[in-house]
């Protein structure tokens, strides 16, 4: 959590950027002093946004590479539920550590104290519940779609995130940015095309419906998390993370009891854990925190672009690590995704 | 040549649009009358531009469909050189007919008289020579690339046309329009992907160089034709066409003598002609004239967009006519091409 140290605590969240940006328009010479401070603020915010986005991209990409690595090393032998539980526990522990440093430096304030109200905390389990429903549906969709087909259909997530971001957070994208978002979806899908991709066009109606419902659930969970985190801009992100992850621990403890109770009792909690497993748990924990940071200091749109770039990075790195071949479709998809990123920034609404 | 009749002869070419558009900015109340005329002019020009572009799109698309149809009916049994000669002759005849009507209506003027100066006519054979070189290279490139691979590499034409349009005609595209152009290239290529497309990545260096040289030759020929036609804005398009096509006839007559003299002498000029052949000749002649019209009243960029849309239309129509299957790549490419068209118009430079 080194990022946290760079942070200028007097700076608000994204929503406040716009206001301070408006003030910083140099139309009044009396405001020169204030303008300087605002320019500094904007720079700090821009730097922080870039650092969290870059971290998320690198962590997501290395996550995918670790998955390929662990699959090459053999089947998953450890229980996934215990690993998920450990990820949530690690995230909780990291948040608490960051908070301890903060308390040491600044003392306990209204914004960084851990105690909370029911009113604040009641919404925190909702994203976890949404993801749970989505993961349950995931078992059923494979009756209609194969795994590579599901990989293709998952790109609906991009569009659903954009639409729900617009509806729920009421933030506007310019027409050029919408075009960029459509291109991002098409580009990511193109990059993933292979000789079997056309099978997905034979997906039965129920498969399409489930894919769309899952994309909506996943998009809603992401946008809802952003809404929760942004609702209290001055609240410290580590407190918000702590409460998000404590519910995550709870849900995953239940999952161990329901799915893997016997296995854990007979073979032990850490049965089948290897070095790669431990790396994966650390990586998942750090990416989870990076996602929260992106929600706090950037938004879901940035998150979607970041994970798309991670997908492309993963493929390129895999060429060197695992001798993968890149297809023509991958190159074309990468060109489209790159243009989409350019257009997203070129199409920024002028305020 | 019905389009010709709708034409308002007092209206200049594209280059003049910008000037009249500038005048029509309503910042001077004295100019209200003139503004009205200019608005009318702009409408007439917009309508003519749309009609020629739409015609080119439909003709190009039906051309591709006729080719599929004639291939299904069996091998080419007629000599291609005689067919090409007839296409040029037909284009000449149509241009002369249109001119005859014009002379009847308006009398012979400086702009519509057929007689010309060496200075005007000297540049007219150049595009034909460029196409000839490109077609000669086409025989050699197949030593390095197979036919479907060549189809993919031909999309370099799009980029080369854009670059040469910028350099030779010195017309500017906005950054968004350049992005759109890259997307058009990627989208067209994506739409043409099939399970063998990845072979093209194994193209040897000479193949890439030849493909790029051919794209530059073809782009240069297109842009040069536009330069010739636009150099004399007031000159009637049918006179310009007549001189372009008369050289086309000449070059194709030489081709018959060199390639098919014996066959024509022994079997006759029209040996192997069928109903589809005649349809194809008429179609090629009309598309050739449509290309000239697009060069006169629009530009090479519009031509490239038009032929890309024609490619997509052809595939969709082929589903109904020949029971073709559309791939996922085709859908993704079509989405990218559609967004490119939107961005090209959204990214117009404000004058």
Calculate how close chain B gets to A322, using CA atoms only, in Å: 19
Residue A231 lies in a domain: yes
Cβ <8 Å between A179 and B339: yes
CA atoms of A283 and B207, how far apart (whole Å): 44
- A335 part of contact set with chain B, CB < 8 Å: yes
The closest of B95, B41, B124 to B237, measured between CA atoms, is B95
What pLDDT, on a 0 to 100 scale, did the predictor assign at position A74? 64
B142 with B200: CB under 8 angstroms?
no
Which of these ranges, A134-138, B20-24, B206-210, has the smallest mean pLDDT? B20-24
Mean pLDDT of B318-324: 89
The closest of A79, A344, A10, A19 to A187, measured between CA atoms, is A344
Residue A196 lies in a domain: yes
What pLDDT, on a 0 to 100 scale, did the predictor assign at position B45? 87
Q: Is the pLDDT of residue A28 over 80?
A: no
DSSP state of A324: P
SS3 B295: helix
Quick one: tokens of A152?
A: 């293709």
Cβ <8 Å between B190 and A346: no
CA atoms of A291 and A63, how far apart (whole Å): 13
B183 vs A contacts (CB less than 8 Å): 183, 336, 339
The closest of A194, A198, A329 to B190, measured between CA atoms, is A329
Task: Give A34's pLDDT tier (boundaries 50, 70, 90).
Answer: low
Calculate how close chain A gets to B338, using CA atoms only, in Å: 10
Q: How many residues would you count in chain A?
A: 351
What pLDDT, on a 0 to 100 scale, did the predictor assign at position B10? 34
| Residue entry with tokens 């067919």 | B83
CA atoms of A217 and A223, how far apart (whole Å): 10
Q: Is the complex ipTM more than 0.90? A: no
Q: Is the pLDDT of residue B81 over 90?
A: no
Q: Is the pLDDT of residue B235 over 80?
A: yes
> Considering Cα of B219, then B223, then B224, then B225, what sign does the dihedral take?
positive
CA atoms of B202 and B190, how far apart (whole Å): 18
What pLDDT, on a 0 to 100 scale, did the predictor assign at position B22? 31
What pLDDT, on a 0 to 100 scale, did the predictor assign at position B68? 78
Residue A89 lies in a domain: yes
CA atoms of A183 and B335, how far apart (whole Å): 8
Q: At what angle do helices B156-168 and B205-231 cross, to 10 degrees?
A: 40
Task: Give A110's pLDDT tier (boundaries 50, 70, 90).
Answer: confident
Q: Is the pLDDT of residue B283 over 80?
A: yes
Q: Which of A152, A328, A343 sits opposite B193 (nearest CB)?
A: A328
CA atoms of A176 and A182, how far apart (whole Å): 10
What pLDDT, on a 0 to 100 scale, did the predictor assign at position B199? 84
Mean pLDDT of A320-345: 94
B328 burial via Cβ count (<10 Å: 0-12, 13-18, 19+)? buried
Residue B123 lies in a domain: yes
Torsion of CA B81, B84, B85, B89, to 10 degrees: 170
How does pLDDT run across A188-246, given as a tens digit for each residue? Answer: 999 999 888 888 888 899 999 999 999 999 999 999 999 999 999 899 999 999 999 99
The closest of A23, A13, A38 to A295, measured between CA atoms, is A13
A230 in the Ramachandran plot: left (φ > 0), alpha (ψ -120 to 50) or beta? alpha
> Considering Cα of A330, then A331, then A336, then A338, what sign does the dihedral take?
positive
Q: Is the pLDDT of residue B30 over 50?
A: no
Mean pLDDT of A26-41: 59
Cβ <8 Å between A343 and B190: no
Residue B351 lies in a domain: no
Which percentage of chain B shows pLDDT scores above 90?
51
CA atoms of B137 and B48, how far apart (whole Å): 36
B238 with B22: CB under 8 angstroms?
no
What pLDDT, on a 0 to 100 scale, did the predictor assign at position B309? 95
Q: Is the pLDDT of residue A283 over 70?
A: yes
Quick one: tokens of A175?
A: 């027409």
A287 with A63: CB under 8 angstroms?
yes
B183 with B155: CB under 8 angstroms?
no
A197 vs B contacts (CB less than 8 Å): 328-329
Mean pLDDT of A163-188: 94
What pLDDT, on a 0 to 100 scale, did the predictor assign at position B73? 67
What pLDDT, on a 0 to 100 scale, did the predictor assign at position A75? 61
Residue A133 lies in a domain: yes
Q: Is the pLDDT of residue A18 over 50?
A: no
B58 burial via Cβ count (<10 Å: 0-12, 13-18, 19+)? middle
Which of these ranges, A18-27, A36-45, B186-195, B273-282, has the smallest mean pLDDT? A18-27
Q: Is the pLDDT of residue A15 over 60?
A: no
Number of domains in chain A: 1
What pLDDT, on a 0 to 100 scale, did the predictor assign at position B35? 67
CA atoms of A195 and A183, how far apart (whole Å): 22
How does pLDDT run across B87-125, given as a tens digit for each residue? Answer: 999 999 999 999 999 999 998 888 888 888 888 889 999
A336 vs B contacts (CB less than 8 Å): 183, 186-187, 190, 336
Cβ <8 Å between B175 and A346: yes
Pick the residue of A185, A328, A330, A348 with the most B CBs within 10 A to test the interface with B by mutation: A328
In our burial notation (b when 16+ CB lie closer than 10 A, e otherwise), range A212-228 reads ebbbbbbbbbbbbbbbb
A159 vs B contacts (CB less than 8 Å): none
Residue B283 lies in a domain: yes
How does pLDDT run across A132-151, given as a tens digit for each residue? Answer: 888 778 778 888 888 888 88
What pLDDT, on a 0 to 100 scale, did the predictor assign at position A346? 93
How does pLDDT run across A63-102, given as a tens digit for each residue? Answer: 888 887 877 766 667 888 898 899 999 999 999 999 999 9
* Domain containing residue B12: 2-346
> Considering Cα of A331, then A335, then A340, then A342, what sign does the dihedral take?
positive
The closest of A347, A87, A104, A131 to A241, measured between CA atoms, is A87
- B6 part of contact set with chain A, CB < 8 Å: no
| Residue entry with tokens 């309503």 | B26
* DSSP per residue, A167-214: HHS-----HHHHHHHHHHHHHHHHHT--TTGGGGGG--HHHHHHHHHH
What is the rounded end-to-end Cα distance, in angstroms, of chain B?
A: 33
What pLDDT, on a 0 to 100 scale, did the predictor assign at position B271? 87
Which of these ranges, A12-16, B126-130, B221-225, has the smallest mean pLDDT? A12-16
| Residue entry with tokens 């389009």 | B3
Query: Where do the H-state alpha helices sit in B73-124?
Result: 80-106, 118-121
Cβ of A333: how many Cβ atoms within 10 Å?
27
A131 with A274: CB under 8 angstroms?
no
What pLDDT, on a 0 to 100 scale, did the predictor assign at position A197? 84
Cβ <8 Å between A346 and B187: no
Q: Which of B186, B333, B339 sits opposite A182 (nearest CB)?
A: B339
Q: Is the pLDDT of residue B7 over 50?
A: no
What pLDDT, on a 0 to 100 scale, did the predictor assign at position B350? 64
Calculate how close chain B gets to A197, using CA atoms only, in Å: 7
Query: Where do the H-state alpha helices sit in chain A?
Result: 2-6, 14-23, 32-72, 80-106, 118-121, 125-141, 147-153, 156-168, 175-191, 205-231, 237-259, 261-267, 275-297, 300-322, 328-346
Q: Is the pLDDT of residue B149 over 90?
A: no
Residue A351 lies in a domain: no
Residue of B215 and A37 predicted with greater confidence: B215
CA atoms of A28 and B111, how far apart (whole Å): 59
Pick the residue of A173, A175, A176, A183 with the most B CBs within 10 A to test the interface with B by mutation: A183
A107 in the Ramachandran plot: left (φ > 0), alpha (ψ -120 to 50) or beta? left
């Amino acid at each position: 959590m080194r990022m946290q140290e760079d942070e200028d605590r007097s700076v608000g969240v994204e929503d406040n950027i716009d206001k301070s940006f408006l003030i910083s328009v140099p139309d009044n010479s009396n405001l020169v002093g204030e303008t300087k401070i605002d320019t500094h603020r904007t720079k700090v915010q821009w730097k922080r946004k870039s650092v969290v986005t870059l971290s998320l991209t690198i962590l997501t990409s290395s996550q995918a590479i670790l998955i390929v690595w662990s699959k090459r090393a053999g089947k998953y032998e450890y229980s996934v539920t215990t690993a998920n539980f450990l990820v949530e526990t690690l995230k909780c522990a990291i948040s608490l550590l960051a908070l301890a440093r903060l308390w040491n430096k600044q003392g306990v304030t209204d914004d960084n104290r851990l105690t909370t109200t029911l009113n604040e905390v009641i919404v925190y389990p909702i994203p976890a519940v949404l993801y749970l429903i989505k993961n349950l549906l995931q078992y059923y969709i494979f009756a209609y779609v194969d795994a590579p087909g599901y990989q293709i259909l998952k790109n609906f997530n991009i569009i659903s995130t954009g639409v729900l971001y617009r509806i729920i957070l009421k933030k506007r994208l310019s027409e050029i940015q919408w075009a960029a978002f459509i291109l991002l979806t098409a580009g990511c899908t193109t990059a993933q095309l292979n000789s079997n991709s056309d099978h997905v066009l034979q997906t039965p109606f129920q498969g399409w419906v489930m894919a769309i419902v899952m994309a909506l659930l996943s998009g809603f969970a992401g946008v809802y998390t952003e809404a929760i985190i942004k609702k209290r801009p001055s609240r410290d992100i580590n407190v918000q993370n702590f409460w998000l992850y404590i519910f995550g621990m709870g849900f995953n403890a239940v999952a161990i009891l329901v799915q893997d109770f016997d296995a854990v009792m007979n073979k032990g909690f850490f049965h089948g854990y290897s070095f790669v497993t431990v790396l994966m748990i650390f990586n998942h924990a750090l990416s989870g925190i990076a996602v929260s940071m992106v929600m706090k200091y950037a938004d879901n749109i940035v998150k979607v672009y970041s994970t798309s770039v991670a997908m492309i990075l993963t493929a390129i790195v895999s060429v060197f690590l695992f001798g993968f071949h890149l297809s023509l479709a991958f190159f074309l998809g990468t060109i489209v995704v790159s243009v989409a990123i350019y257009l997203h920034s070129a199409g920024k609404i002028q305020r």
